[in-house]
Amino acid sequence: MPSFDHGGVEIAYLDEGEGEPILLIHGFASSKNVNWVYPSWLTELTRAGRRVIALDNRGHGESAKLYDAQDYRLDNMAGDALALLDHLGVTRADVMGYSLGGRITSHVALLAPERVRSAVLGGIGIGLVKGGGPGENVAQALEAESLDDVTDPMGRTFRAFAEQTRSDRRALAACMRGSRELMSPETVSRIAVPVLIAVGTVDDIAGSARELQSLIPGSEVLDIPRRDHMRAVGDRAYKEGVLAFLAGQS
């Protein structure tokens, strides 16, 4: 798997297909394979004539593992994504992130709007502003001696997922603590690229998609029917809605 160095941090990525580029940014405790390859996003997008670029976020997958929470500030992680585009010579791309990847995508759109043709914020709604969802409870669950020691329901969910993906749990705990910064309503309202907000209708982690829509001028909402936070990623309605949204960009 190819990788590149960004400020001393090795970032693994994939780059497949031809056509208009789209950059994919996965969620917490996931990876480019778990989030995008296994649920057939890579296949669907390349079949639709897209060049698909996806990275393993720092601390995840095949990328470098870091243990200082400050290394996982969202601007640092957005910087990795932009550096990957630079590394590949891509001046402008659609960007789609899920959950933590959606948070990172929002920062990419603010840091370099001229590089972002459109942004898909998957699995993140008003939680981007108001918080909620995983936090210190999940970090502590990741650091526990075993899953049997975790009683917090959300902590157990993410600990089990981290074990399933064979993740470095200490790196993930640092990531959880470093990446939870929120955006103010005023900051969110400055996102000036076309935005699609895609959230499962029974997602109790992301927060309201429509509350976030009310803050981002011109943004659209895609409801992913009957899907919670963990099961929305590979949903057919999500894929079809994103492909339709992308087809409408110029």
List the domains of the chain with CATH numbers: 3-130+184-247 (3.40.50.1820)
Structure tokens at 239: 């894929």
Other CB atoms within a 10 A radius of the CB of residue 214 amount to: 14
Q: Is 90 exceeded by the pLDDT of residue 133?
A: no
Share of the chain above pLDDT 90, in %: 97
Q: Is residue 38 exposed (0-12), middle (13-18) or buried (19+ Cβ within 10 Å)?
A: middle
Element (H, E) at 20: strand 20-25
Give the pLDDT confidence of 4-44 residue by residue, as tens digits: 999 999 999 999 999 999 999 999 999 999 999 999 999 99
